[in-house]
């Protein structure tokens, strides 16, 4: 019996010992001291730490006159014509991004529109009074200025390199809670916001599913390196086709690309207004066909302003604009944005299709002084 147990026990023990060696060598995790490389937890803490000092909370106030109800019962049968006028303070909030060491802050125009006082709360707890440098209703952007030392401007990214699917972070002041961060991806590019009674030629939004709420307007949309990609400006809410009346979104958030925002900011700082390039044509996007196959968009000229750069260049009603500076038009709205960001006096080559013939024309860009619908 003992010999039998020996025969069974020794192979069993040897097997267990071998199994322990295998587990220790190949399966069980190594101690931190013995591991050649320790896997790092995926985190965006460094990006948030880099960008957060440049994101500020904006608090606004304005005096609103209101008329109290007339007193009744004093003079039966007569209406009291003397009504007491009272004023109340209406407060609002938003976010902004420090862009320069001199204290220039980008935010949304609707955050500071028609207010009487603007206070800016910095990430380090400092509070400053802000003044308005300039506003641009066409892009819903505004530039503020504060006078404080040791400001940390945000690092700029390049929104032209943004791709659908890129991870992004939104930093702002939702519902007055103070700086908060949400994470998402870029859902789409080149979006515009269809809204009744609102037509904005210069809308070119980055769409993201990073959740933002009321108070996030004017805050930063950053990449995973902490670089600014856009200014958060709109949220879409269920049952709401306009600027959100509800404080919460449903995962469709829109941001103004940083390249456009910087262009607008620089003009507002330098000139007090945005100087946009102008051709003086009204166009309608159409499908371009080659041999019966669609190859992209083109722009049909529907109206030309008298004496405009387009008229001087020889562009005519009914022309189909196919190329700008040799590049085929792929998106009509993007082409309009490109023209608007040119400087007066710049020359551009315009290729048009007229009576089935392709003509190369040159136009000298003018200054936009008319409705944005005329480019």
Among 334, 329, 323, 328, CA closest to 190: 334
Check 95, 104, 110, 180 and give the catalytic one: 110
Among 365, 360, 372, CA closest to 342: 365
- Assess whether 338 and 251 both reside in one domain: no
Q: Which of 249, 271, 293 is the last residue of a domain?
A: 271
Report the distance separating Cα 128 and Cα 118, nearest Å.
9
Query: 77-91, 131-145, 234-248, 318-332: which range is least confident on average?
Result: 234-248
Q: Is residue 265 part of a domain?
A: yes
Residue pLDDT, tens place only, 163-187: 999 999 999 887 767 778 999 999 9
Residue 169 phi, psi (nearest 5): -125, 140
Query: 117-121, 128-132, 337-341: which range is least confident on average?
Result: 337-341
Structure tokens at 347: 């020359």
Residue pLDDT, tens place only, 227-284: 999 999 887 665 554 444 445 556 788 999 999 999 999 999 999 999 988 888 888 8
Check 92, 104, 136, 140 and give the catalytic one: 140
Q: Is 166 a catalytic residue?
A: no
pLDDT value at 319 more than 60: yes
Structure tokens at 255: 């941001």
* Chain CA centroid to CA 45, Å: 22
Contact 140, 201 (CB under 8 A): no
CATH number of the domain residue 332 falls in = 2.30.42.10
- Assess whether 357 and 283 both reside in one domain: yes
Q: Is 150 a catalytic residue?
A: no
Q: Which residues pair with 129 in a beta bridge?
A: 119
Structure tokens at 260: 């456009």
Q: Is residue 183 part of a domain?
A: yes
CATH number of the domain residue 117 falls in = 2.40.10.10
Q: Is residue 10 part of a domain?
A: no
Structure tokens at 74: 């004093």
Q: Report DSSP state, residue 240.
A: B
Q: Is residue 151 part of a domain?
A: no
- The torsion defined by the Cα of 235, 238, 240 and 242, in degrees rounded to 10, comes to 20
Alpha helices by DSSP H, listed for 109-206, are 109-112
- CA distances to 95, 114, 130 from 60, rounded to whole Å, are 11, 10, 10
Check 217, 253, 282, 308 and give the catalytic one: 217
Q: Is residue 29 part of a domain?
A: no
Q: Is residue 30 part of a domain?
A: no
Q: Is residue 40 part of a domain?
A: no
- Assess whether 204 and 133 both reside in one domain: no
Q: Is 104 a catalytic residue?
A: no
Give, for 14, the enclosing helix (H) or strand (E).
helix 2-22
Q: What is the pTM of this model?
A: 0.75
User: What's the 3-state SS for 296-307?
Assistant: EEEEEEEEECCC
| Owning domain of residue 248 | 159-271
- Assess whether 299 and 356 both reside in one domain: yes
When divided into structural domains, the chain yields a total of: 3
- Assess whether 99 and 197 both reside in one domain: no
- Assess whether 223 and 284 both reside in one domain: no
Structure tokens at 345: 């006096």
Q: Is residue 22 part of a domain?
A: no
pLDDT value at 26 more than 60: no
Q: Which residue has the tokens 């965006």?
A: 44
For the chain, report the end-to-end CA distance as a whole number of angstroms. Answer: 103
Contacts for 108 with CB less than 8 Å, ≥ 6 apart: 94, 140, 141, 142, 217, 218, 231, 233
Q: Which residue has the tokens 């805050």?
A: 219
């Amino acid at each position: 019996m003992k010999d039998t147990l020996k025969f069974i026990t020794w192979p069993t023990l040897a097997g267990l010992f071998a199994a322990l060696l295998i587990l220790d060598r190949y399966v069980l995790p190594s101690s931190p001291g013995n591991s050649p490389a320790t896997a790092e937890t995926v985190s965006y803490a460094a990006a948030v730490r880099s960008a957060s000092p440049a994101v500020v909370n904006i608090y606004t106030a304005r005096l609103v006159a209101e008329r109290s109800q007339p007193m009744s019962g004093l003079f039966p049968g007569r209406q009291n014509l003397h009504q007491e006028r009272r004023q109340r303070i209406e407060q609002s909030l938003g976010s902004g991004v420090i862009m320069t060491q001199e204290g220039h802050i980008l935010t949304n125009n609707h955050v500071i529109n028609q207010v009487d006082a603007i206070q800016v709360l910095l990430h380090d707890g400092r509070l400053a009074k802000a003044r308005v440098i300039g506003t641009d209703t066409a892009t819903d952007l505004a530039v503020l200025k504060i006078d404080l030392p040791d400001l940390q401007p945000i690092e700029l990214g390049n929104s032209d390199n943004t791709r659908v699917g890129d991870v992004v972070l939104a930093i702002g002041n939702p519902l007055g809670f103070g700086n908060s961060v949400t994470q998402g991806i870029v859902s789409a590019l080149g979006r515009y916001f269809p809204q009744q009674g609102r037509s904005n030629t210069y809308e070119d939004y980055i769409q993201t599913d990073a959740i933002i709420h009321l108070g996030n307007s004017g805050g930063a949309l950053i990449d995973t390196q902490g670089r600014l990609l856009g200014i958060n400006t709109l949220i879409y809410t269920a049952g709401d086709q306009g600027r959100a009346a509800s404080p919460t979104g449903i995962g469709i958030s829109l941001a103004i690309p940083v390249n456009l925002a910087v262009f607008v900011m620089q003009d507002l700082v330098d000139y007090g207004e945005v100087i946009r390039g102008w051709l003086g044509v009204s166009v309608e996007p159409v499908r371009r066909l080659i041999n019966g196959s669609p190859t992209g968009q083109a722009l049909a000229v529907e109206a030309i302003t008298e004496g405009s750069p387009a008229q001087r260049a020889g562009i005519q009603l009914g022309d189909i604009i196919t190329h700008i500076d040799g590049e085929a038009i792929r998106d009509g709205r993007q082409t309009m944005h490109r023209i608007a960001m040119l400087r007066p006096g710049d020359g551009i080559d315009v290729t048009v299709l007229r009576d089935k013939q392709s003509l190369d024309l040159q136009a000298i860009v003018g200054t936009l002084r008319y409705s944005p619908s005329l480019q």
